[in-house]
Amino acid sequence: MKLMQFKVMTFDVVGTLIDFESGVLNAVRALGGEKAAKATDDEIFEPYKRGRDKFYGRSSFAMKDVYLSLANEVGLRNDNATAEAFQLAVLRWPAFADSIEALARLRKNFRLVAMTNADRTAFSAYSDTLGNPFHDSVTCDETGCAKPNPQFFAFNKGRQTAFGFKQSEILHVAQSQYHDIGVASELGYTTCWIERRQGQQGFGGTPEPKAVTKPDFHFSSLKQLADAVDAELAGTVATATAA
């Protein structure tokens, strides 16, 4: 199987392109007080995930409640001003160091489509952070649901079909086994796992899947994916020159 056989790359955004784990950790430690500054990653991520489960609404509004849930559970600063500051910080989560350059390279050869559980407001902020690389985008506002719900994928499949692309021409690229790789594989998509936490224990700020699904392609960074595409292209050029 070759990467260049695909015409569309669909991307999970938060966790794959946007480093939400660093964003969460930095904001909690900066805002939550002395106890937060000393907390381990897991001491922050576990109550964060429980809070997100309780407050699963639009990310541009619900994250202040997620923070208050975390703060009340762990005993951190829990006033409304701190929660509002955490909410604002969510819109400023950083891109991974390789995301912008790799997406710019991939855009030269593929239609890039964002498939994100973020709402349209939050996605607009993330897209701007990434340099607005996408040809198309689908958020939870349009689908009315969030991944791993198969209806999210069904919505995008219909949308891309309207633009003339078949499911077999789509490569789904994501970090989350729970939200993306498992369900996409079950639905018959070719998948590319960007294992951002390779070499680290646990699943960090992402829910743990029931099982780890073997993807069709597997890289630890987006740069590696872009490099693999470039290597295929170089091989094609070399073959054509030799012929």
CATH no. for residue 151? Answer: 3.40.50.1000
* pLDDT the model gives residue 242: 45
Asked if 120 and 223 sit in the same domain, the reply is yes
Asked if 114 and 229 sit in the same domain, the reply is yes
Asked if 10 and 25 sit in the same domain, the reply is no
pLDDT above 80: residue 199: yes
Query: Which whole number is the average pLDDT over 206-231?
Result: 97
Asked if 212 and 133 sit in the same domain, the reply is yes
* pLDDT the model gives residue 236: 67
Range of the domain at 158: 3-19+94-242
List the structure tokens of 185: 């594989």
Give 47-65 pLDDT, tens digit per residue. 999 999 999 999 999 999 9
Q: Whole-number mean pLDDT of the chain?
A: 96
Asked if 84 and 100 sit in the same domain, the reply is no
pLDDT above 50: residue 240: no
Q: At 243, is the pLDDT very low, low, confident or very high (cuts 50, 70, 90)?
A: very low
Asked if 99 and 178 sit in the same domain, the reply is yes
Give kind and range of the element (H or E) at residue 150: helix 150-162
Burial of residue 132, with CB atoms counted within 10 A of its CB: 0-12 exposed, 13-18 middle, 19 or more buried: exposed
Number of domains in the chain: 2
Which residues are the active-site residues? 12
Asked if 84 and 117 sit in the same domain, the reply is no
pLDDT above 90: residue 42: yes
Asked if 189 and 161 sit in the same domain, the reply is yes
CA gap 42, 206 in Å, rounded: 11
Asked if 112 and 187 sit in the same domain, the reply is yes
Q: Are 66 and 46 in contact (CB under 8 A)?
A: no
Query: Which whole number is the average pLDDT over 56-79?
Result: 96
Cis peptide before 148 (omega within 30 of 0): yes
CATH no. for residue 87? Answer: 1.10.150
Q: Are 172 and 197 in contact (CB under 8 A)?
A: no
The pTM for the full model equals 0.94
